[in-house]
Amino acid sequence: MAAQTVSTTLSLSGAQRFTVALSALLLGVFLVYGAGLANSAVLHDTAHDTRHSYGFPCH
């Protein structure tokens, strides 16, 4: 019983792995887009120095 629990928590099926990958990708792109690229005056001003140091196209 215990061994079975361990094996299920330690194995990640292909579908699960794809779900995690897709969630991570969407969330990651959303965050990077918001900080680096979004066309909003407030976001731009807040992230100004970050955008310049990461070389995001700015202004």
Q: Based on the shown chain and the rule CB under 8 A, indicate whether residue 9 belongs to the binding site for another protein.
A: yes
Question: Where in 18-37 is the site for another protein (CB under 8 A)?
Answer: 18-25, 27-37
Output the CA torsion 50→52→57→59 (10° steps): 100
Q: Based on the shown chain and the rule CB under 8 A, indicate whether residue 46 belongs to the binding site for another protein.
A: yes
Q: How far is the CB of 4 from another protein (least distance, A)?
A: 15
The contact set with another protein (CB under 8 A) reads 9-12, 16-25, 27-37, 39, 41-59
